[in-house]
Structure 1
């Protein structure tokens, strides 16, 4: 009798454990790409990049003009004047490299700043859909490799619907 109760108890606990876990997948980058706000982010980022590029171009042009001027007048300069101008040109070149590096960092920060609200919106929609459909875990498939994924557990379309985004046909 004890054996039957123990077996039934183990079977009951096993079924509860299995029933409590429901794992789904999502292609979050696909959804982000489908969001209409993403186009605005791309436009703003391009505009910001163009502004940084114009400032960078001005610095590069100024450096090139000074370098050409130095090359033309180099023969007529004394040693001290040459060294002074060479030092200035080297400093300008370092400033340009530093500005370029900072520009890349600023672009990344701006893009992250603009994308943060979209990822927050996506996260909230995922949480809503997951709770509504009884999922205990949602895995993102972007960038990960899975040996097998059953598409019936992919909630990408449900989240797109929750965000009010229509899926293009074709």
Structure 2
């Protein structure tokens, strides 16, 4: 008898706690793509990438000029001079590879730095909508696989409204 009462009490408590939970979803990638600031971030990161590319192209051009000069004068150079040239060319090639790797890392860091304020703004808007809608949890749709999502609990449009962004209307063909 005691175990039946405990079982009923646990079932009742778990039902009450489930009933108080409200879960919503949001498509944060979609919202980010519609934010006007995203275009500015994209332009700034492209400009930064162009600066890195121009520096990289100068290094590659210098290396190529050095290789061409070495090939042209290779037959007239002595063995020690050839070895010195090989070492210099190998060092330049390693420098170019390292510069390229660092450039990729710098580009990623710059993009993260530029996107950080947008993520903060989006996070604040989601929090505002979630609190006003009394959601206990909000899951992001992008990057996750869901078997079923009830669109009645999708707060993407509410977050867009909170940010003052008008979503494009879908046209059916």
User: Shorter-chain-normalised TM-score: which range?
Assistant: over 0.9
- For 1:137, the equivalent position in structure 2 comes to 137
TM-score calculated relative to the size of structure 2:
0.91
TM-score calculated relative to the size of structure 1:
0.92
> Structure 1, residues 122-144: CA drift from partner, whole Å, max 9, x if none?
00000000000010000001011
Q: How does 1:86-165 map to 2 (within 5 A)?
A: 86-165=86-165
Q: Please list every run of 5 or more consecutive structure 2 residues that lacks an aligned counterpart in the other structure.
A: none
Counting matched residue pairs gives 167
Question: d(CA) in 2 for partners of 1:123 and 1:66?
Answer: 52
Question: d(CA) in 1 for partners of 2:10 and 2:81?
Answer: 91
Q: Give the superposition deviation at 1:13.
A: 3.7
Report the RMSD for the aligned CA atoms in angstroms: 1.9
Q: 1:166 to 1:84 in 2, by over 3 A?
A: same
Q: 1:78 to 1:169 in 2, by over 3 A?
A: same
Q: Give the superposition deviation at 1:15.
A: 5.0
